[in-house]
Amino acid sequence: MLVNTWRRMSPRARREALEGYLGLLPWTIGFLAFTAGPILASIYLSFTQWDIVGTPKWIGFANYRHLFTDDPLFFTALRVTFSYVIMAVPLKLLAGLGLSLLLNLKVRGINVYRTIFYLPAVLSGVAVALMWIWIMHPEMGVINMLLAGIGIQGPRWFWDPQTALVSVVIMSLWYVGGSAVIYLAGLQNIPPHLYEAGQIDGANRWQRFWGITLPLLTPTLFFQLVTGLIDAFQVFTSVYVITQGGPLHATFFYMLYLYEQAFQEFNMGYASAMAWILTLIIVACSLAVFQTSHRWVYYEDSEEQAR
In whole angstroms, what is the distance from residue 31 CA to residue 37 CA? Answer: 8
Q: Is residue 251 part of a domain?
A: yes
- Domain-located, residue 225: yes
pLDDT, tens only, 57-75: 999 999 999 999 999 999 9
Is 287 part of any domain? yes
Q: Is residue 274 part of a domain?
A: yes
Residues 120, 190, single domain; the answer is: yes
Domain of residue 168, CATH code: 1.10.3720.10
Q: Are residues 253 and 107 in the same domain?
A: yes
In a domain, 158, yes or no: yes
Tell me, yes or no, whether 41 and 87 share the same domain. no
Q: What is the pLDDT along the chain (307 residues), one digit of tens a residue?
A: 566 676 677 778 878 888 888 898 999 999 999 999 999 999 999 999 999 888 999 999 999 999 999 999 999 999 999 999 999 999 999 999 999 999 998 888 889 999 999 998 888 889 999 999 999 999 889 999 999 999 999 999 999 999 999 999 999 999 999 999 999 999 999 988 888 898 888 888 899 999 999 999 999 999 999 999 999 999 999 999 999 999 999 999 999 999 999 999 999 999 999 999 999 999 999 999 999 999 999 886 655 444 4
Q: Is 167 found in the same domain as 18?
A: no
Residue 20: predicted pLDDT: 85
pLDDT in tens, 160-203: 999 999 999 999 999 999 999 999 999 999 988 888 898 888 88
User: What was the pLDDT predicted at 301?
Assistant: 62
- Residue 16: predicted pLDDT: 84
Q: Residue 54 falls within a domain, yes or no?
A: no
How many C-beta atoms lie closer than 10 Å to residue 261's C-beta?
23
Q: Are 223 and 299 in contact (CB under 8 A)?
A: no
Q: Is the pTM for the entire model greater than 0.85?
A: yes
Range of the domain at 27: 2-45
Return the pLDDT at 247. Answer: 92
Same domain, 10 and 88: no
CA distance 60 to 41: 15
The domain total for the chain is: 2
105 and 33 in a single domain? The answer is no
- Same-domain check for residues 36 and 98: no
In a domain, 56, yes or no: no
| 233 contacts 281 by C-beta, under 8 angstroms | yes
Are residues 211 and 147 part of one domain? yes
Residues 145 and 103 reside in one and the same domain: yes
**Residues 20 and 101 placed together within one structural domain of the fold:** no
Give me the residues paired with residue 120 across strands: none
60 part of a folded domain: no
Query: What's the helix, strand, coil split of the chain in %, to 5?
Result: 75, 0, 25
Q: Which residues of 273-296 are buried (b: 16+ CB within 10 A; e: fewer)?
A: bbbbbbeebbeebbeeeeeebeee
- Same domain, yes or no: 218 and 136: yes
- Clarify whether residues 83 and 186 are in a common domain: yes
